[in-house]
Each structure stands twice: as C-alpha cells, then as structure tokens.
C-alpha cells in the first residue's frame, strides 16, 4: 500500500484528508491548494493571496488563513520559519528532511541537508531515552551578497 501514497498527488492527499475529517473539498479550498502547489519552495500566506488575485479568484485572506491549518494537518505544508513578523510556509509532501539558513538582512532562505545531524540527534535522544517527533535546525546570519554589500559599505566609510 506504501507505493500508492507515494504516487498520490497533492489534490488526492488533501481530498482524502478532508473526507476522513468529514470536510468538503470546496471550490475555495481547491483554489488555495492549487495556488500553493505553484508556489516556490518557501512562501507567506500573502503570496497565496497575491497568486489568487492574479487568477481573479475571490478567495479572501481570511479563508486562506483558515485553510492553512488543514493543509498542515494533511501533511502537505508546514510552518517552517517563525522568526520574522510573518510565518514562512513550505511544501513538505514528498520532500526530504532539510534545514534552513536565514539571512537576517534580505530574508533569503538557503536549504541544506545534513545526514550527520540525523545521526547526532538520534544519539542524543537515545542517550536521554527520549522519543523525538520533530526537530529543527535554523542558522541565522548573513548571505554572501549581503556580506559583500556590508564590506563595501565599510570600505566606503573608511575612504571618506
């Protein structure tokens, strides 16, 4: 049965989830889901809203905010970065576990995979007889472009 899940689309996955919870696959929910499937890796609720505006949809931002928890519970997306003013979401369905570096200046997000980290966290949990259900690693700092800009600004200040 495992391979059936792997081949299901976002829409099927969401439909199954709604059905299990006695919820309807409404036109609004379908539009929000479709807008999400065409988003880049990381997005804000407002990005979905802009996408729907472009498509002349009348789904409100409130509806988007109400639909997001359903999409999270169905395993399609998750809130991934909570640091700033707005939550960054990303699609997680069929995506390998990964971590993020976030630039404090421009907000750029760099994804990375680290199999060693999985081993380390497994060992830490085993040593503490702890069953982990979720863990995150987020590195905050400055991306290469922003660091270059900062260095140039410093140089200019020295020259003046």
- Contact call for residue 146 and Zn ion (CB under 5 A): yes
Residue from the set 106, 113, 124, 137 that interacts with Zn ion by CB under 5 A? 106
Task: Calculate ∠ Cα 140-141-143, nearest 5°.
Answer: 120
Rounded to whole angstroms, how far apart are CA atoms 104 and 29? Answer: 33
Find the part of the chain contacting Zn ion (CB under 5 A) among 50-58, 107-115, 120-128, 133-141.
Answer: 107-115
Residue from the set 45, 72, 92, 103 that interacts with Zn ion by CB under 5 A? 103
SS (H, E, C) 117-153: HHHHHHHHHHHCCCCCCCCCCEEEECCHHHHHHHHHH
String of contacts with Zn ion for each residue 7-46, x by CB under 5 A: ----------------------------------------
- Contact call for residue 88 and Zn ion (CB under 5 A): no
- Contact call for residue 92 and Zn ion (CB under 5 A): no
Residue from the set 13, 90, 91, 102 that interacts with Zn ion by CB under 5 A? 90
111: left (phi over 0), alpha (psi -120 to 50) or beta: beta
Beta strands in 21-137 (DSSP E): 42-43, 77-81, 88-91, 99-103, 109-112
Rounded to whole angstroms, how far apart are CA atoms 66 and 84? Answer: 21
Minimum Å gap between C-beta 139 and Zn ion is 13
Cα–Cα distances (Å) from 99 to 53, 80, 94, in that order, read 31, 9, 15
Minimum Å gap between C-beta 97 and Zn ion is 10
CB closer to Zn ion out of 70 and 143: 143
Residue from the set 30, 39, 111, 149 that interacts with Zn ion by CB under 5 A? 111
Positions that interact with Zn ion (CB under 5 A): 90, 103, 105-106, 108, 111, 143, 146
């Amino acid at each position: 049965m495992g391979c059936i899940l792997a081949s299901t689309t976002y829409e099927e996955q969401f439909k199954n989830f709604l059905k299990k919870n006695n919820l309807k696959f409404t036109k609004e929910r379908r539009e929000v889901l479709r807008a999400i499937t065409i988003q880049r890796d990381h997005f804000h609720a407002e990005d979905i809203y802009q996408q729907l505006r472009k498509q002349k949809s009348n789904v409100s931002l409130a509806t988007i905010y109400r639909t997001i928890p359903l999409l999270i519970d169905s395993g399609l997306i998750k809130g991934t970065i909570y640091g700033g003013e707005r939550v960054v979401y990303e699609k997680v369905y069929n995506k390998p576990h990964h971590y993020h570096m976030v630039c404090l200046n421009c907000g750029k997000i760099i994804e990375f995979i680290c199999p060693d980290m999985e081993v380390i966290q497994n060992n830490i949990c085993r040593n503490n007889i702890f069953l982990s259900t979720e863990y995150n690693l987020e590195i905050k700092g400055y991306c290469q472009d922003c660091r270059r800009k900062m260095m140039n600004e410093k140089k200019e200040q020295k020259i003046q």
